[in-house]
Amino acid sequence: MEALFESMDQIYRDLDQRLVPLMSEALCGPGCSLCCTGTGSIDINTLEGLRILRYMESLPQNIHARMRSSLAKDRKNRKQERKASCPFLRKNRTCAIYAIRPLVCRRLYSLEPCSERGPVLHKEAVSLGAGARDALQRLDWNGYSGHISYVLHLFDEPGFRTFYASGGFDPSRVMDYGKAHKLVIHRSLHGKK
């Protein structure tokens, strides 16, 4: 898994490097969290999810438990079709997992003050972000993508974490969960690796 994490970090670094000139006029900064509140789906892949879980498990038990509770609340809100803030958004409007934030967060910024219509990005940034997303999905070939709370909860399915970490691929093991939570199978998106 460590080699996959390093490859994922390289995809992040490549995207960051390409976005730097585009983001020079971005208005975003610490505490600017409109993109993290009341948004649609905060989609991640299973590789990003496993890294987030490992990070959570490295934290003191009370913080880990608080994050787990926030994720459960987010799943409940989504089940009731209520939009909610990112489960990792702190009360001070900063990100609890910023250092390991997923691609969806890394590629987002705004050139204008955010409003209900959301952030304003360069078209090139949107294209670069889509390319990085596709590269991550090909890297995470045996994995899935979907809303952050659902992907993280997938690792609570009996045996899934060990099976996934060993390189196993068997969508039938998570078929019901995947359908119920609109998870996407990476292999179905990109054909052959």
- Secondary structure (H, E, C), 114-176: CECCECCCCHHHHHHHHHHHHHHHHHCCCCEEEEHHHHHHHCCCCCHHHHHHCCCCCHHHHHH
- The yes-or-no verdict on residue 192 having pLDDT over 90 is no
Measured between alpha carbons, how far apart are the two ends of the chain, in Å?
18
Q: What value does the mean pLDDT take over residues 33-47? A: 81
On whether the CB atoms of residues 96 and 67 are closer than 8 A, the answer is yes
- The yes-or-no verdict on residue 173 having pLDDT over 80 is yes
**Per-residue confidence at 99, pLDDT binned at 50, 70, 90?**
very high
- The yes-or-no verdict on residue 35 having pLDDT over 70 is yes
pLDDT at site 56: 96
**What is the CA 25 to chain-centroid distance, rounded?**
25
**Per-residue confidence at 147, pLDDT binned at 50, 70, 90?**
very high
pLDDT at site 105: 85
Phi, psi of 115 (to 5 degrees): -140, -165
* Tokens standing for residue 120: 């304003």
**Per-residue confidence at 29, pLDDT binned at 50, 70, 90?**
confident
pLDDT at site 144: 95
- The yes-or-no verdict on residue 37 having pLDDT over 70 is yes
> From CA 76, how far away is CA 84, in angstroms rounded?
10
**Per-residue confidence at 33, pLDDT binned at 50, 70, 90?**
confident
**Per-residue confidence at 163, pLDDT binned at 50, 70, 90?**
very high
Percent of the chain with pLDDT over 90: 55
**The pTM is what?**
0.91
- The yes-or-no verdict on residue 38 having pLDDT over 70 is no
Percent of the chain with pLDDT over 70: 91
